[in-house]
Amino acid sequence: MLELKGIDVYYGDLQALRGVSLTVGAGEVVSVIGSNGMGKSTTLKAISGLLHPRAGSIQFQGRDITRLTPSAIVELGISHVPEGRQVFPSLTVLENLEMGAQFPEPIRRAGQTLEQVFAYFPRLKERLKQKAGTLSGGEQQMLAIGRGLMSLPSLMMLDEPSLGLSPLLVETIFEIIEQINQQGTSLLVIEQNVFHALGISHRGYVLEDGGVALSGPSRELLADPHVRKAYLGL
Amino acid sequence: MSLALAFQLLIQGILLGGIYGLTAVGLSLIFGVMGVINFAHGQMMVMGMYISYWLLVLLGLDPYLSLPLAAGAIFVLGYVMQSTVVNRILDFPEAMQVLPLVAMGLILENLALLFWGPDPRSPSTALGLATFTLGSATVDVSRLIAFGLAIAFTVFLVLFLKKSATGKRIRAAADNRLGAQLVGIKVDRVNNIAFGLGAATTGAAGALLLPLMPVSPYLGHDFTTTAFVVVILGGMGNLLGALVGGLILGVTESLATLALPATLKQVVSFGLLVLIMLYKPQGLFGGRR
């Protein structure tokens, strides 16, 4: 459903991605792993239209989305839950969730989607009238994922969902991410927590120096000597 | 100093302060959402004054009736300014954002000069000279109407931002631009609307001011600085703070004429600015950033 073909992305004169190719199939969970500064977040930003590649193309459900605006890309069904959550601190939890639904169909079904979000994250329902800025880091992550679900995405991209969370909360978040996938949403997950990422994904890509160094089924990557040495410290 | 005079000045100060507040609310909204200071703000208000002046002289339309037209025209002006100029400079350092906006102010001021000439004009309006007495003080009816409408517009704007879908989008974009982009909000367009609304409030303030003081092209500069002082007083980006700040500045300026010549009123407002910067730089009611 999503296909990146050899994209080059630059920040000014600095090249961040070199010919990255990657696919996500319908219903699939794909993880992208790699150390800091290797281009993981940049890849997601290129897909969601925050950055535009200088070369290569991005196709989504058979459509070329390489040059579309972030808003148009959300409307087509890609939702990006960014690193650092990026919730709206002075808006209430409910308002944050409402802002997740910007287009006619998601707005029409907002009530139903809200119930679904509360089923995943009962905590959010308790905090409905509270300002998002007063939430804990874990609650903000739940809110960011919930907000991302409000646009009824067929592909959801998660950037470091476990960053800064307690181990117990990380378990919870990953369980819910799996549930979201079982409801039919494809996922593209970036994680530093390589064990977890490969644990929940079908396939994985290893990014090194802005290019794909290695890719394959997650089980094979977990057994790969390079991955074990560089990312798992085994 | 007579108590009656002080009471008269207090009332006048409160009533004028409402209009200060209204234009400052617009400036504060623009700052709160975009993080830029609209240095063309007073000039936009003067444009609002001239538009209602024109509608009065050419069509005989009273300023209170032409107010929606003046506010609407200045909304469009603000929308166009944001979409053509301000959206491009949002990521620039603050010092560089100042210049294009000061330039817009100069352009507006000189357009006013071109269309209406340098002489102050004070048209007579239906309620221009109507007054009533309150205790020992005389109250201008047009000042009272201006005050009431200024409060009403501010409350309306606050409710609009709080409750409406567009208002929520504006607040979301102000809170976190990246987050807003990622949920699919068209941030540029939301910014255009926010700048337009801020401009419309100052345009409305212009229409309300027309019966109260002669309009001239050079008025804008003073009102930009007045609005700026008020916004700092109330807290940058805090709309209700701007309204209350306007009242405080109006009263202070007015009461100061008891001791100082009226021509020195800017000394009072800048004195207040210096005090606030020294002792409460976040403003009396706290700012957004």
Contacts with B202 (C-beta within 8 Å, 6 or more apart), sequence order: B22, B23, B26, B27, B41, B42, B44, B45, B48, B74, B227
Instruction: Tell me how crowded residue A223 is: count the other CB atoms within 10 A of its CB.
Output: 11
Condensed to tens digits (0 to 9), the pLDDT of residues B266-279 reads 888 889 889 988 99
pLDDT band for position A63 (cuts 50, 70, 90): very high
- Distance separating alpha carbons of residues B75 and B204, to the nearest angstrom: 10
pLDDT at A146: 96
- Chain B positions in Cβ-Cβ contact with residue A71 (cut-off 8 Å): 181, 184-186
Cβ distance of B184 and A71 shorter than 8 Å: yes
Q: Per-residue pLDDT for B289 more than 60?
A: no
Distance, in Å, from the CA atom of A128 to the CA atom of B8, rounded to the nearest integer, reads 49
CB B37 within 8 A of CB B228: yes
Q: Is the pLDDT of residue A199 over 80?
A: yes
Closest CA to A181 of A142, A205, A155, A216: A155
Go through A47-75 and write b for each residue having 16 or more CB atoms within 10 A of its CB, e for each that does not: bbbbbebeebebebeeeebbebbbbebbb
Chain A: residue nearest B163 by CA?
A95
What is this model's ipTM? Answer: 0.92
Contact criterion met (CB below 8 Å) for B195 and B100: no
In angstroms, rounded to a whole number, what is the distance separating the alpha carbons of residues A91 and A144?
13
C-alpha–C-alpha distance, residues B198 and B190, integer Å? 12
Q: Taking a C-beta distance cutoff of 8 angstroms, is the pair A66, A52 a contact?
A: yes
Scanning every residue of chain B, which has its alpha carbon at the shortest distance from the alpha carbon of A84? B179
Give the integer Cα–Cα distance in Å for B6 and A229: 82
B175: contact with A, CB 8 A cutoff:
yes
Which tokens hold the place of B14? Answer: 């409160």
The chain B residue lying nearest A71, using CA atoms, is B184
| Spatial contact of A206 and A221, defined as CB atoms under 8 Å apart | yes
Task: Specify the DSSP class assigned to residue A103.
Answer: S
Q: Is A10 on the interface with B (CB under 8 A)?
A: no
Give the pLDDT confidence of A148-191 residue by residue, as tens digits.
Answer: 999 999 999 999 998 888 888 999 999 999 999 999 999 999 98
The 10s digit of each residue's pLDDT in B218-258 is: 999 889 999 999 999 988 888 999 999 999 999 999 999 88
- Say whether pLDDT at B138 is over 90: no
CA dist., res. A132 & res. B268, Å (int): 40
Backbone phi, psi, residue B260, to 5°: -120, 155
Q: Say what the pLDDT of residue B1 is.
A: 58
- Per residue in A17-41, pLDDT (tens digit) is 999 999 999 999 999 998 888 889 9
Total count of residues recorded for chain A: 234
Domains of chain B: 3-115+136-279 (1.10.3470)
Domain architecture of chain A: domains with CATH: 1-77+155-160+186-234 (3.40.50.300)
pLDDT of residue B287: 66
Query: Which amino acid, one-letter code, is at B272?
Result: L
Distance from the Cα of B205 to chain A's closest Cα (Å) equals: 29
